[in-house]
Amino acid sequence: MKIDTLLYPTDFSSSAEMALDFAVFLAKRYRAVLALLHVNEFSSLIDPNNAYGYRGSYQLKDEVEKVAKEKLRKLGTKIEKKVKVKTFYAEGAAYDQIVRLAEKEKIGLIVMGTRGRSFLSDYYMGSTAERVMALTKCPALTVHGKFKEPPFKKILLFYDFSEVSQLTFPKVHAMAKDFESEIILCHPAEMATEERLVALSKFLEGFDLRGTVISKRSYAEADGYGGIVQCAGIENADLIVFGKDSRVGRRHVFLEGISEEIIRYANQPVWILPTQQQTIT
């Protein structure tokens, strides 16, 4: 895999801080620039030009911006000894600004946290991460816990025998080579017909799998996201990977809300890898 620039959005919470260790590790691993972004979502509430404006709003708005930019500067200074750093400050909806900057700066990977110290911060961070994962056209990684090295010894790939899954596998294979990881193909049992399993075996023959361990595990389709989370737990997976068609956003990867639930509840980081189908089904 080739990644030139990683994007790390932060609200300076404990949740975001946990994702920073992953971002720095991956930036070092891929010799990439780490872009730090803070989005001020509340600027409209103190905008003197809106309906809620009041005397002194200009000063308050300036102070909020000043504090945020200073925190960004200190964070950049803290980690620039480890990786190359760029900083960005924006105002508006966090998910929208993250997606826009990722496209503008040609980001190779977004790394962000999803859980905070309270129910409110959990909801806020989780909602932002889910929207980013659904809308962005670049790979995105959500982090749920503390960083441990090596990070991805077992990678669980959601494999539903679709074209998206087939297009995702080469990227996961390359990732497994990078991290010397085992690959676990997790699929709904109802989809694993004999014909599909034979086709999968032939598909895998097209890859150099020397040194790569691949196993398969199924779950009951009725279990939905719970089946995938359970598979990841049983296999002691360190990472869950989904593919999505980059041209249709939510349609494939967020089918029936499964991926949103996994992002919200899985103990493992979740990595979304966009692909581009030849045909849209």
Q: Are residues 225 and 245 in the same domain?
A: yes
Q: Which domain holds residue 236?
A: 154-275
CA nearest neighbour of 110 among 132, 93, 94: 132
Query: Do residue 214 and residue 258 come from a single domain?
Result: yes
For 31-67, what is each residue's pLDDT tens digit?
999 999 999 887 655 555 554 445 455 677 788 889 9
For residue 138, the model assigns a pLDDT of 92
Q: What is the pLDDT of residue 246?
A: 60
Do 9 and 139 lie in a common domain? yes
Q: What is the CATH number of the domain that holds 31?
A: 3.40.50.620
Residue pointed to by tokens 């600004």? 97
Residues 55, 138 share a domain: yes
Are 136 and 7 in contact, with CB atoms under 8 Å apart? no
| DSSP E strand boundaries for 139-269 | 140-143, 154-158, 182-188, 214-219, 239-245
Residue 161 inside a domain? The answer is: yes
Structural domain contains residue 36: yes
Total structural domains within the chain: 2
pTM for this model (two decimals):
0.86
Q: Give a yes or no: residue 148 inside a domain.
A: no
Q: Let me know if residue 12 belongs to a domain.
A: yes
**Rounded distance, CA 5 to CA 35, Å?**
7
Residues 133 and 187 reside in one and the same domain: no
What pLDDT was estimated at residue 13?
Answer: 84
The order of strands in the sheet holding 140-143 is: 85-91, 33-40, 5-9, 109-113, 140-143, 270-275, 239-245, 154-158, 182-188, 214-219
So what's the pLDDT on residue 250?
43
Domain identity same for 131 and 10: yes
Distances, alpha carbon 20 to alpha carbons 83, 213, 267, in Å: 12, 29, 17
Q: Are 126 and 213 contained in the same domain?
A: no
Q: Per the domain annotation, does 260 fall within a domain?
A: yes
Last residue in a domain, options 90, 117, 143: 143
Distance CA 27, CA 35 (A): 10
| Residue 106 sits in the same domain as residue 52 | yes
Euclidean distance between CA atoms 114 and 253, whole angstroms: 18
Does residue 281 lie within any of the structural domains? Answer: no
pLDDT at 166: 94
Looking at the domain assignment, is residue 14 inside a domain? yes
Q: What is the pLDDT of residues 246-277, one digit of tens each?
A: 654 444 444 446 677 788 788 899 999 988 65
Whether residue 174 sits in one domain with residue 133: no
| Same domain? 173 vs 235 | yes
In a domain? residue 149: no
Within this chain, do residues 107 and 135 fall inside the same structural domain, yes or no? yes
Please compute, for residue 165, the number of CA atoms within 13 A of its CA located in the half-sphere on the CB side.
18
Q: Locate 78 and state its tokens.
A: 């803290």
**Last residue of one domain, picked from the residues 119, 143, 167:** 143
Domain boundary among 90, 111, 143: 143
CA separation, residue 91 to residues 41, 81, 96, 242 (Å): 6, 28, 10, 30
Same domain, 197 and 134: no
The segments of the chain whose pLDDT lies below 50 read 51-53, 55, 116-124, 248-256, 279-281
CB 224 within 8 A of CB 258: yes
